[in-house]
């Protein structure tokens, strides 16, 4: 069912007639088959999240989707065939390493194809018009993908789920404009590399800088046809809710709105949380809820579906609460948001105003909405 809405054209009925947005999760079996041992990105990250969600009062409100496997032909829209072959060979010789941070076990490729397939299933669910169509879906999956480039694994990542999902949506649904917003604490350098010269995918990364992998300065804006389609917002160490929300509301979301994408993909890493061992950022549970809420509100206003991918997030004890906070922002319900890990008062990073001005200056030639 669709309706004509002034300024938005024909959009699915579900998006604006519901009192409350419908959100949910994609849950994946067999995540332990990507066996990384004592690595920070390990099989203990997600079972606690799933258990917590299943036992939460909001569980009955969530749309729950089962994944399917992505096909190799899906993966090679973003990666070279040689790279996918190299993962397969590494799995056959497992345990082995694809880079200094990225190890594989025998079941790693299949686990990755299921994680990517979960994102593709989510794209189908939000893109196909149906009576029970959710507004947004969050794929609870591992390993992460946003460091993985067209022909290399990197930083715990094998297949780039967000990029593969964008190319899938273009190939299957004919979408011409996809936006990927990446709030993982690390720069999404793999996604940036794949779409560096691509004007059909807008990529916006909000990340701690300096931090691994070292890229993502504000003057990296894309090249060729993709010039102006890469937006980097490097936040200083010690940034918390005020800085992230300012980056989102004053740069990322206005650009997304101006671009008018037909699908919004979020690389929704949780490693910017105050208790994460791999970063210096101070985002609280309330901050994650607010980022999800504001991004979800924009997607609903634009009448488009939104898919969130579980990237980094390495404190196993806080991940369940962060994921609940994100889902509460998407679904418009309440969850506990007390956060003992966030210092009070917070000291704003002194160089943030200067960074934000530099980002806006780099992007103004392409996005007049920032004026």
Catalytic residues: 147
Phi first, then psi: what are they for 132, rounded to 5°? -95, 20
Among 186, 195, 207, 273, binds Zn ion (CB under 5 A): 186
Stretch that binds Zn ion, among 74-82, 91-99, 183-191, 358-366 (CB under 5 A): 183-191
Angstrom distance (rounded) from CA 353 to CA 327 = 30
Stretch that binds Zn ion, among 16-24, 27-35, 296-304, 307-315 (CB under 5 A): 307-315
Angstrom distance (rounded) from CA 263 to CA 32 = 30
Binding mask 250-279 for Zn ion (x = CB under 5 A): -------------------x-x--------
Binding mask 111-150 for Zn ion (x = CB under 5 A): ----------------------------------------
Angstrom distance (rounded) from CA 362 to CA 230 = 11
What's the min distance (Å) between Cβ of 47 and Zn ion? 20
Cα 242 versus chain centre, distance: 20
What's the min distance (Å) between Cβ of 91 and Zn ion? 23
Q: Is 319 exposed, middle or buried (0-12, 13-18, 19+ CB in 10 A)?
A: buried
Closer residue to Zn ion, CB minimum distance, 186 or 355: 186
What's the min distance (Å) between Cβ of 44 and Zn ion? 17
Closer residue to Zn ion, CB minimum distance, 17 or 317: 317
Closer residue to Zn ion, CB minimum distance, 293 or 311: 311
Residues present in the chain in total: 371
What's the min distance (Å) between Cβ of 312 and Zn ion? 3
Angstrom distance (rounded) from CA 40 to CA 281 = 18
What's the min distance (Å) between Cβ of 31 and Zn ion? 17
Closest residue by Cα to residue 45 from 313, 293, 238? 313
Binding residues with Zn ion: total (CB under 5 A) = 5
Q: What is the DSSP letter of 78?
A: T
In three-state secondary structure terms, 27 is strand
Binding mask 340-359 for Zn ion (x = CB under 5 A): --------------------
> Burial code of 164-174, b = ≥16 C-beta within 10 A, e = fewer?
bbbbbbbeebe
Tell me: does residue 312 bind Zn ion (CB under 5 A).
Answer: yes
Binding mask 38-57 for Zn ion (x = CB under 5 A): --------------------
Stretch that binds Zn ion, among 51-59, 117-125, 185-193, 200-208 (CB under 5 A): 185-193
Q: N- to C-terminal Cα distance for the chain?
A: 38
> Which residues, at least 6 apart from 20, have a Cβ–Cβ distance to it below 8 Å?
331, 332, 333
**Among all residues, whose Cβ is closest to Zn ion?**
312
Phi first, then psi: what are they for 202, rounded to 5°? -85, 125
* Residues found near Zn ion in the complex (CB under 5 A): 184, 186, 269, 271, 312
């Amino acid at each position: 069912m669709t309706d004509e809405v002034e300024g938005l054209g024909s959009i699915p009925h579900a998006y604006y007639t519901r009192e409350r947005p419908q959100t949910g999760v994609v849950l994946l079996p067999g995540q332990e088959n990507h066996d990384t041992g004592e690595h920070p990105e390990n099989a203990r990250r997600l079972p606690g999240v799933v258990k917590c969600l299943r036992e939460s009062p909001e569980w009955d409100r969530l749309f729950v989707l089962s994944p399917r496997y992505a096909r190799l032909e899906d993966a090679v829209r973003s990666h070279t065939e040689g790279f996918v072959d190299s993962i397969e060979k590494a799995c056959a010789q497992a345990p082995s390493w694809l880079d200094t941070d990225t190890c594989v076990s025998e079941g790693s490729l299949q686990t990755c194809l299921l994680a990517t397939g979960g994102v593709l299933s989510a794209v189908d669910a939000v893109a196909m018009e149906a009576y029970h169509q959710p507004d947004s879906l969050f794929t609870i999956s591992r390993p992460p993908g946003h460091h993985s480039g067209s022909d290399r694994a990197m930083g715990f990542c094998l297949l780039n789920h967000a990029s593969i999902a964008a190319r899938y949506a273009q190939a299957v649904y004919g979408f011409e404009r996809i936006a990927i917003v990446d709030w993982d604490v690390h720069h999404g350098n793999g996604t940036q590399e794949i779409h560096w010269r691509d004007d059909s995918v807008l990529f916006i990364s909000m990340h701690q800088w300096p931090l691994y992998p070292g890229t993502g300065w504000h003057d990296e804006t894309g090249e060729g046809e993709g010039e102006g389609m890469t937006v980097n917002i490097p936040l200083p160490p010690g940034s918390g809710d005020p800085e992230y929300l300012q980056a989102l509301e004053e740069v990322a979301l206005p650009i997304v709105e101006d671009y008018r994408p037909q699908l919004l993909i979020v690389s929704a890493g949780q490693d910017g949380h105050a208790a994460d061992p791999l970063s210096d950022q101070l985002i609280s549970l309330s901050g994650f809820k607010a980022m999800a809420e504001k991004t979800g509100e924009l997607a609903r206003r634009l009448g488009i579906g939104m898919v969130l991918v579980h990237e980094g997030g390495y404190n196993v004890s806080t991940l369940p609460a962060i994921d609940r906070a994100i889902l509460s922002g998407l679904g418009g319900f309440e969850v506990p948001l007390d956060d003992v890990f966030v210092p009070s008062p917070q000291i704003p990073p002194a160089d943030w105003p200067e960074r934000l001005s530099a980002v806006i200056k780099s992007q103004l030639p392409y996005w007049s909405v920032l004026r």
